[in-house]
A and B are shown apart, each in its own frame.
Chain A
Amino acid sequence: GEDVEQSLFLSVREGDSSVINCTYTDSSSTYLYWYKQEPGAGLQLLTYIFSNMDMKQDQRLTVLLNKKDKHLSLRIADTQTGDSAIYFCADRNQAGTALIFGKGTTLSVSS
């Protein structure tokens, strides 16, 4: 069945790099996504990667995709306290009609 797995918590110090990992089961997706949820808000698209890419860089964000292992990661360089949030990895569902999300990784940044 469809599944997206993430670790639940990550704690880092301000200025360090954060790496959030995700594994997924459906390998037919054309795109994979990272969403961010701040307290009291809905999810907002942070970045995405096309499935024929291994890496995508967007300012402080680096997305790595290993299709063979069905592993996706999000690296945040120079993590700031404002990066504290819940980060969700998302994949298409098999019906191709919606996204399926992991449980979310809560990133806590201490100063």
Chain B
Amino acid sequence: ETGVTQTPRHLVMGMTNKKSLKCEQHLGHNAMYWYKQSAKKPLELMFVYSLEERVENNSVPSRFSPECPNSSHLFLHLHTLQPEDSALYLCASSPEATSSYNEQFFGPGTRLTVL
């Protein structure tokens, strides 16, 4: 257990559905991250939040909408997704976003399939 939980673990959705991924960290960290992991591609950083403020948004399509209501919770709202969005979505947290030593703690991921 890394102290970072993600729900659901698996999600199948149609292209017209709206769903949300949830991440919760029990480590008292100030920074949280969303990554996308697709087969044979590097892990793609999607969003970075530091103290509930978004500090990085890596040219992610607007059909992905993050929300960070407090430093322990992070959501990724999904709508009108495409089949190529099928991937493993990983959440991570770290004590601070900008410290020189940035050990990130990952959740187990949500396996998303878009039909």
Contact = CB atoms under 8 A, between A and B. Distances in A.
A101 B5 CA distance: 21
Question: Interface range on chain A: under 10, 10 to 19, 20 to 34, or 35 or more?
Answer: 20 to 34
Interface in B59-104: 90, 92, 97-98, 100-104
B113 to A, nearest CB: 15
Nearest to A45: B103
A96 interface: yes
Interface of A: 4, 8, 30-31, 33, 35, 40-45, 48, 88, 92-93, 95-104
Interface residues of B, number: 27
A33 B101 CA distance: 10
A97 B55 contact: yes
Contacts of B92: 42-43
Contacts of B41: 103
